Amino acid sequence: MIPSPSPFPEPQPALAPLTSAAVFLVVTVEPGGEQQVRDLLPEISALTRSVGFRVPEAALSVCTGISSDVWGRLFAGPRPAELHPFQERVGRIHRAPSTPGDLLFHIRAHRMDLCFELASHFMSRLEGAVAVVDETHGFKYFDDRDLLGFVDGTENPVGSPAYRAAIVGDTDPEFAGGSYVIVQKYLHDLTGWNALTVEAQERAVGRTKLSDIELDDDEKPADSHVTLNTVEDDEGNQLQIVRRNMPFGSFGRGEFGTYFIGYAATPSVTERMIDNMFLGNPPGIHDRLLDFSTAVTGGLFFVPSQEWLDADHPAAGSGAATEPAPATRAEPDPAPTPEPDPHAGSLRIGSLKA
């Protein structure tokens, strides 16, 4: 685990470095399955140690996230101050959906067999209590590149700046040491992307493809990915998150993409980036990458500190969901309300299930 440079509780390993393999597992909790989930959560550390002890150099770790919708079904008492459901964004052209998901298991190691083994222990203990709505197996692609051919995560903070960017501090003392994580699964149109010239690709991303150097400000279009994902506070200081994205792919399903996962001390920073990408900043433009990358999932979870996860907490009295905290937005959404989806309830894509 990453040592905590503060008096706050030990975080889960959100800041652990990228590995060669990962499993992103999102499940919903069936009615009546709450106690099985509560029984598993304090066991996760021991299960991870037991599996990882067999191959310590593989650096097996897991981060467990809990959604707003299921929090009140699992626990009585206070909840993380900024925990709320992920909001759908509907821009003029592109949409960032909000999809089902109560628990997130972000499992990673330098060997996929260890990720698979740990996931199998979780699912065995949760048998009958949860339904898998998304399972994505990520892999390292050359020098940390995505399937579009660009290095992913270049601007990730490291050391103390990473801790400050990703870990909750004294702004919410009850849940200090935790982190908010947003996940989105993007499918790429590789045929369309590869038809572009390298120069056009670089302008869409805002970086050079081979050397991974950020383009000068006068070369970066307003709709480049780098431009729209650079956000600042009122004093002009850049706000950061910690990304641990990974590529994935399946030739049989014809699906190739990037699994975005961003850890932050406040979800508002990641939400501002997503608003910029889909709704524009200023409104009316969108991230050029979205013309080749389609978001098919979206979820927001709280990753409590390791100490909090390992402890027992009072169960929710009735097992029924409490009213979730209202969703907050860093930017107002100017988009119109979407028409009702006749396929609501089904994610209608590859490994994603209703």
Active site residues: 152
Which three-class secondary structure string do you get for the chain?
CCCCCCCCCCCCCCCCCCCCEEEEEEEEECCCCHHHHHHHHHHHHHHHHHHHCCCHHHCCEEEEEEEHHHHHHHECCCCCCCCCCCCCEECCCCEECCCCCCEEEEEEECCHHHHHHHHHHHHHHCCCCEEEEEEEEEECCCCCECCCCCECCCCCCCCHHHHHHHCCCCCCHHHCCCEEEEEEEEEECHHHHHCCCHHHHHHHHCECCCCCCECCCCCCCCCCHHHHCCEECCCCCEECCEECCEEEEECCCCEEEEEEEEEECCHHHHHHHHHHHHHECCECECCHHHHCEEECCCEEEEECCHHHHHCCCCECCCCCCCCCCCCCCCCCCCCCCCCCCCCCCCCCECCECC
> How many C-alpha atoms does 45 have within 13 Å on its Cβ side?
14
What sign has the CA pseudo-torsion 190, 194, 200, 205? positive
Which token pair is 166? 């990703």
Whether the ω angle into residue 326 lies within 30 degrees of 0, i.e. cis, is no
C-alpha angle 35/37/39, rounded to 5°? 70
Length of the chain: 354
